[in-house]
Structure 1
Amino acid sequence: MSRRFALGLFVASLISISALPTDSFSQTKSLKEQLIGTWIYESSKGTREDGSAVERPKSKGAVTYTSDGHFHFITVRSDAPKYASGDSARPSPEEAMAIASGVVAYTGTYTVEEGSKTIHVNIETSSFPNLAGAPNQRRIVTSISDDELMFTNPRTPAGVTLELVFKRAK
């Protein structure tokens, strides 16, 4: 009877061990898995090649990464004037310029290079048409956690390096 009892305990312990989480559960998520979701724009800092700072407008926005490799990015000046006419099709030239120069929006597809923590973006359409189809669009992730994403856009068309900070949308 004690041999059966011991054998039963042994089998029960094997079953218990097999029910423990596997290595894939205990491994950390890939960068792509961590990126998936919507991130709310917090701040950005621009630097020219000579090291001088670039004044950045107060903005609101977000970036979203989907699991199937699509993304959208938008920032809008939060201090842009309202149209005096109240008609979005009839801004004054000054109002139109303030809006156009204060919006950056683009969408397309992305891939992730895990080793270098680089997001490669293929911009398909943009509020700044020069970005659409521009080669070698990279975003280098400098920090990512469950709640915060920081990345660098190493060279914008204006020759500025941007450091951007986002908080995960809740």
Structure 2
Amino acid sequence: MRVLLCALIAIASFAGEGFAQTMTLKDQLIGTWIYVSSTAKRDDGTPVPRPSLQGAVTYTADGRFHFITTSTNAPKYASSDSAKPSPEEAMAVASQSIAYTGTYTVDEGTKTIHVNIETSTFPNLVGAPNQRRIVSAISADEMKFTNPRTPAGVTLEIVWKRAK
């Protein structure tokens, strides 16, 4: 009986490992990921300074996503009314924040997430063609992807950790 139990546990463990290895990229993406860090480079490889950011991206099983990053140093508004920042306060927040949402598909062969941005705090992204994120690494707890061409003309690499 003990041998049979050990054999069943071994088979279950092996089957579980095989299952994890056969998960699709889309299956692995589903959930919320918390921003860890990012680097930006120009086409010639020159690094571009990045602000200190916080944020998250969520991918749903039905093909929707939500993305937001904002400065960790965003100033508090002098007014308690979020609709009445001073011009300086509004510019400080808007210039270091971005949020967008829409639908996504995954090309498993190229490990590419294709996003269709429907709404954004940066209106130029809405409907912009060829919005893609190339996943360079993904595990149960960490994901790294590259946005190969941002509107600012830089390549952006972002590291995420899975929300717990």
Q: Is the counterpart of residue 26 in structure 1 residue 18 in structure 2?
A: yes
Q: Which moved more, 1:21-30 or 1:64-73?
A: 21-30
AA matched with 1:79: N
Q: Is the counterpart of residue 67 in structure 1 residue 61 in structure 2?
A: yes
Whichever of the two has the greater Rg, that structure is 1
Q: Is the counterpart of residue 151 in structure 1 residue 128 in structure 2?
A: no
AA matched with 1:96: A
| Structure 1 unaligned residues grouped into runs of 5+ | 1-12
1:21-44 superposed Cα distances (whole Å, 9 cap, x missing partner): 697982421100000000000010
1:65-100 superposed Cα distances (whole Å, 9 cap, x missing partner): 000100000001110111112221111111010011
Distance across 2 between alignment mates of 1:145 and 1:133: 30
AA matched with 1:85: S
When the two structures are superposed, what TM-score results if normalisation uses the length of structure 1?
Answer: 0.85
Aligned equivalent of 1:42: 36
RMSD across aligned positions (CA): 1.9
Aligned equivalent of 1:3: none
Identity among equivalent positions (%) equals: 68
Aligned equivalent of 1:162: 156
Q: Describe the shift of the 1:120–1:105 C-alpha distance in structure 2 as closer, same or farther (beyond 3 A).
A: same
When the two structures are superposed, what TM-score results if normalisation uses the length of structure 2?
Answer: 0.88
Q: Cα distance, 1:47 vs. partner?
A: 0.5
